Amino acid sequence: MQNLWNDTEAEAIVAAHAANGVGRDLALRVYTTRLLGGVPQLVLHGGGNTSVKTRAVDLVGDEYDVLCVKGSGWDMATIAPAGLPAVKLAPLLKARAFDRLSDKDMVTLQRANLIDPDGPNPSVETLLHAFLPAKFVDHTHSTAVLAVVDQAESRRLAREAFGDRIGFVDYVMPGFALAKQAAAVFDQDPSVEALILDKHGIFTFGASAREAYDRMIDYVTRAEEFVARRGVRKTARRPLPASLATPDAIAPMLRGAIAVDRGEGRFDRMVSEFRTSPAILDFVAAPDLEDLATRGVSTPDLSIRIKTGPLVLAPPDAADLAGYGADIRARVAAFADGYRAYFNENAARSPDTLTMLDPMPRLTLVPGLGLFGHGRSVKEAKIAADIGEIWIETVADAEAIGAFRPVERPDLFDLEYWSLEQAKLASIKTLPFSGQVVIVTGGAGAIGAATAKAFAGRGAHVAVADLDEGKAAAVAKSIGNAAIGVGCDVTDPASVRALFDRTVAAFGGVDIVVSNAGAAFEGPIATLDDAVLRRSFELNFFAHQSVAQNAVRIMKLQGTGGVLLFNASKQAVNPGASFGAYGLPKAATLFLSRQYALEHGKDGIRVNAVNADRIRSGLLSDAMIANRSSARGLSEKDYMAGNLLGQEVRAEDVALAFVHQALSERTTGGLDTVDGGNIAAAPR
C-alpha cells in the first residue's frame, strides 16, 4: 500500500490549523486521519478511528492530559479538529481497574469527561485508545488484514504474514471488554508495533503521527504481499444464459421485492445503486457464491450496513423476465425468512426486549451483471454498494489464501443489535417520501420546479425532466437530495422511454410521476389551423399518455403500487374563449387520468389530477398577465388575486396539491382545484 505522508503537506496543515488555535499534535492527528480515511481498503463511511494524547484547557482555564479521539458519526476522510473531541485521560485510565463496565456507563463516563460538553460522543473504542500508552493510535479495517484474520487458523496466518512484532487479540465485541483484553495483550510485550484484532482489524501506534501512520501502511502492505505471495485464485465459473437481461430490466423487480410490506397497500421502499467492474463480475461468477454469501460480513461493524451479508440472485435470462421476477421474489422471501430465524434464535439470549429491524437485504449480487446496494436514501444505497465492493475484495483475498471464515453469527448479532449502534440508527430521520422516487415532467417550469422541490424536501429522490436539459439540471442541483436533471421531449415516445430508463438506472425504479409538461395554444376554434390543434394534442394529451404508459410499466414490475398525477388545468373543466386548442386536450387528459384510475386501481396505482388557474409560469407569462389585466381594467395584482380568497395563487400552492395527492392513500380518480376559489370553474 502506498505511503501518502508528505512533509510539505503535513507542515502546511499544521500552519493552517495553528491560525485557528489548533496545536501541532491535533493538526497532525487530523492530517494522518484523513490520509487513512481516504483509502477505501482501510476504512469506509465512518469506520475506523484514531487518537492522540495531548493537553487541553477547559472553559475555566484548567489544563488536563486528554485523549483526542474520533467522534462517533465523523468520517475519517473529511475529519476536522471538532471531530476529535478531547476527553480527560485520567478518569478513562482509572476505568481499567473495573471488572466490568456496561455500555451505558462507558458512554456516560466518556461524555462526563469531555472538555467540551457539546462535543460528539467519543468512539466506542475510546477506552482501547486510552489503555494503550502510545501518544498516537490508529485503527483501520484493512481488507488485506481481514483476509488474513477472517480464517479458521487466523492466529497462525497472522504470525506468518506480520512477523513477531505484533500482538494477536482474540475476537471480543468492541467496548470495555475488548479494551481490557487488547491492553493485556500489549502489556505481555510492550515492544509490539501493532495489535491484530481477530475478525476485526488492526491497531498501530507510535510516539509521533508519522510513526503510527507508517506502521499502519507497513503492516497493511505485509498483508497485501502475503495474499499476493500465497494466494491461489479460483478459476471455475458458473454458466450464464445465452442472453443476459440488463440491470435496468431487473432493477424494478428487485426493488419491489425488497420493499417492506406494511399491509393495506403501504410499503417502505428503498432506492438502489448498481455497480459493476471486472473484479465484481469475476467474483459473482463463482459457483459457490451462495455459500460465500451466507458466511457473513468481513468485519462485524458492517452488519449495521448490510445485515448478515448479501442476497444472491440467479443469472438473469432475458428470454424469461417474468419467470426471473418470480424467482427474485422467492429468493428475497427466503432471505427475509432466514433473517427472522437469525433474529429469533439470538434475541432469546438478550436480557433486553429487542425489536427486529426490517429483514430485507441491503446488498444483492447478480451473476453476469454485478451488484446492487439498497437503502432508504441514495446515500445509504451508495454506502451499501461501496461496502459490497470491499466485501468482495476481502472475501476473494481470503479464499485465495484459505477459506473465508468471519465472525460467527451470534457475535454478529450482538453487534448488529448493540445498543450503541442502535442509537446511531435511531438518530436517522425518516421523511414522508424517504426511499421513494419521483419523476416531474416540465420540471424546469415554475410549477414543475416547485413540485420537484416540494417532493425533494420531503425525502424523495427526484428526476427533473424538461425539454431544456441544462435548465432541468439546474433545478435538480438547486433542490438537492441527489436529484437528477434529464432532457426529455415528452412528445417523443422514445425520449420518454429514455427518461424512465435513466431514472431506473439512477434509483432502481419509480414510485410517483407528476405529468406536468404542457403549453398553451390560442386561437378561435372555428378558424383554428388543424396543425395547431394537432400540436397541442401531441403535447397536452398524447405526451401525458406516453408518460403514463411508462409509469404503469415500471410500477407493475415493482408490484408496490404507485402514484400517477396529472396537471389538468382549469381549462379542462371551464373552457376559455380562444383557448380551445389548449382546453380540448386538457379535458381529454382529465378523462385519461380517470381511465387510468379505473383500470389500474387493482395494481395499487392511484391516479389523480390538479386543476390550477392563474399561476405565474411559462403558460401565464408576465406579458400575458399585463395584457389580460389591462383588457379587464384591473391592476396586475387585482387580476392575479381575482378569486374568492382575494389572494394570488402561486406555483408552490400547486406543488402542495400534488404532494397532498401523493400522500392521500385512499384517493384515486380525483381532481383537486387550486385557484383561490372560482365557482365558474368548479366541477359540477
Name the domain boundary from 400, 426, 452. Answer: 426
Q: Answer whether residue 122 shows pLDDT above 90.
A: yes
Residue 547: pLDDT band with limits 50, 70, 90: very high
Q: Do 453 and 445 meet the contact criterion of CB atoms below 8 Å apart?
A: no
Domain for residue 236, yes or no?
Answer: no
Q: Answer whether residue 422 shows pLDDT above 80.
A: no
Domain match, 223 and 262 both: no
Reduced to 3 states (helix: H, G, I; strand: E, B; else coil), residue 293 is: helix
Q: Do 570 and 513 meet the contact criterion of CB atoms below 8 Å apart?
A: no
- Apex 344 CA angle, 338 and 350, nearest 5: 140
Domain for residue 1, yes or no?
Answer: no
Nearest CA to 173 out of 346, 409, 411 is that of: 411
Reduced to 3 states (helix: H, G, I; strand: E, B; else coil), residue 56 is: strand
CA distance 176 to 672: 59
Tell me how many domains the chain contains.
4
- 59 — alpha (psi -120 to 50), left (phi > 0) or beta? alpha
Domain for residue 401, yes or no?
Answer: yes
Domain match, 272 and 371 both: yes
CA distance 71 to 57: 19
Reduced to 3 states (helix: H, G, I; strand: E, B; else coil), residue 97 is: helix
Over residues 161-180, the pLDDT tens digits come to 999 999 999 999 999 999 99
Domain match, 633 and 609 both: no
Reduced to 3 states (helix: H, G, I; strand: E, B; else coil), residue 125 is: coil
Domain for residue 682, yes or no?
Answer: no
Q: Answer whether residue 52 shows pLDDT above 90.
A: yes
Residue 426: pLDDT band with limits 50, 70, 90: low
Element (H, E) at 611: strand 605-612
CA 535 to chain centre: 41
* pLDDT attached to residue 683: 67
Q: Do 222 and 165 meet the contact criterion of CB atoms below 8 Å apart?
A: no
Q: Answer whether residue 519 shows pLDDT above 70.
A: yes
Residue 429: pLDDT band with limits 50, 70, 90: confident
Residue 424: pLDDT band with limits 50, 70, 90: low
Domain match, 311 and 447 both: no
Q: Which domain holds residue 633?
A: 621-648
Name the domain boundary from 161, 195, 230. Answer: 230
Sign of the torsion angle spanned by Cα atoms 464, 469, 474, 477: positive
> What integer best gives the mean pLDDT of the chain?
94
* pLDDT attached to residue 527: 87
Domain for residue 2, yes or no?
Answer: no
Q: What percent of the chain has pLDDT over 70?
A: 98
Domain for residue 239, yes or no?
Answer: no
CA distance 354 to 458: 30
Domain match, 92 and 223 both: yes
- Apex 49 CA angle, 45 and 54, nearest 5: 145
Domain match, 379 and 504 both: no
Task: Tell me which residue has cell 471486472.
Answer: 278
Reduced to 3 states (helix: H, G, I; strand: E, B; else coil), residue 553 is: helix
Domain match, 408 and 445 both: no
Q: Show which residues are catalytic.
A: 569, 582, 586
Q: Answer whether residue 81 shows pLDDT above 70.
A: yes
CA distance 461 to 434: 8
Q: Answer whether residue 624 shows pLDDT above 80.
A: no
Give the ranges where 427-559 is alpha helix by DSSP (H): 446-456, 469-479, 493-507, 530-537, 543-558
Domain match, 514 and 607 both: yes
Q: Answer whether residue 428 shows pLDDT above 80.
A: no
> Picking from 12-26, 577-591, 628-642, which range would have the lowest pLDDT averaged per residue?
628-642
* pLDDT attached to residue 427: 66
Q: Cβ contacts of residue 474 below 8 Å, gap of 6+?
A: 444, 485
